[in-house]
Amino acid sequence: MRVLPLTLEDCGQAARLHQAAFFKGWKEKDFQEFLKNPLIYGLKTEENHDLSGFILWREVEDEAEILTLVVAPFHQRKGRGSFLLTSLFEILIKKRIQNLFLEVAEDNHQAQGFYRKHDFSLQSKRPGYYPREGGKLIPAFIFFRKLCKI
Ligand SMILES: CC(C)(COP(=O)(O)OP(=O)(O)OC[C@H]1O[C@@H](n2cnc3c(N)ncnc32)[C@H](O)[C@@H]1OP(=O)(O)O)[C@@H](O)C(=O)NCCC(=O)NCCS
């Protein structure tokens, strides 16, 4: 397995994976705008030139925030998410960025299990954050990990 940079050419496939994974997923145009932002970076995994997973993050001074991480359903539970995440750890450690944050929806137990396995811990909750059916809003959990070791 290897990771490659996520590029503007990947935005259509990234949007399709994101919309299949999340309620009100992001559009191709959203990904294009993210990747044009000089503070935002992405990595991907591919299978036969098809996107099988990607991670997008923002760096600001000594902090980074994971904006999203998605593995295509068929490729889940085969280590791709962990590979993308540990590749990000290596990049950030080289840049001396030690503080890594992310937000995950209260009802996303799969992702919470994944991030806990990778030594993230719950730091705080943001009420009324993620939209759900019927105009409901559910909390975001903010997870944090210090990057001094992998
Ligand atoms: C979360 C996600 C990125 C994990 O990617 P993945 O490639 O399936 O993860 P890995 O195979 O590297 O799993 C590593 C570990 O995470 C945990 N994990 C992963 N998926 C899990 C699930 N569905 N339920 C419980 N634990 C899970 C397990 O501990 C797993 O180790 P194991 O398979 O040895 O038990 C993937 O499930 C996904 O894309 N989900 C939809 C989008 C999403 O919620 N993204 C995160 C929010 S930003």
- What predicted TM-score, i.e. pTM, was given to this entire model? 0.96
What pLDDT does residue 149 have?
Answer: 59
Report the CATH number that the domain containing residue 37 is assigned in CATH. 3.40.630.30
pLDDT digits (tens, 9 = 90+) for 53-73: 999 999 999 999 999 999 999
pLDDT digits (tens, 9 = 90+) for 83-111: 999 999 999 999 999 999 999 999 999 99
CA of 95 to the centre of ligand 1 (A): 26
Task: Report the alpha-carbon distance of residue 133 to residue 113 in Å, rounded.
Answer: 24
pLDDT digits (tens, 9 = 90+) for 17-29: 999 999 999 999 9
Task: Report the alpha-carbon distance of residue 49 to residue 110 in Å, rounded.
Answer: 27
What pLDDT does residue 1 have?
Answer: 84
* CA-closest residue to ligand 1 atom 17: 114
Q: How many domains does the chain have?
A: 1
- Domain housing 81: 4-146
* CA-closest residue to ligand 1 atom 7: 81
* CA-closest residue to ligand 1 atom 24: 110
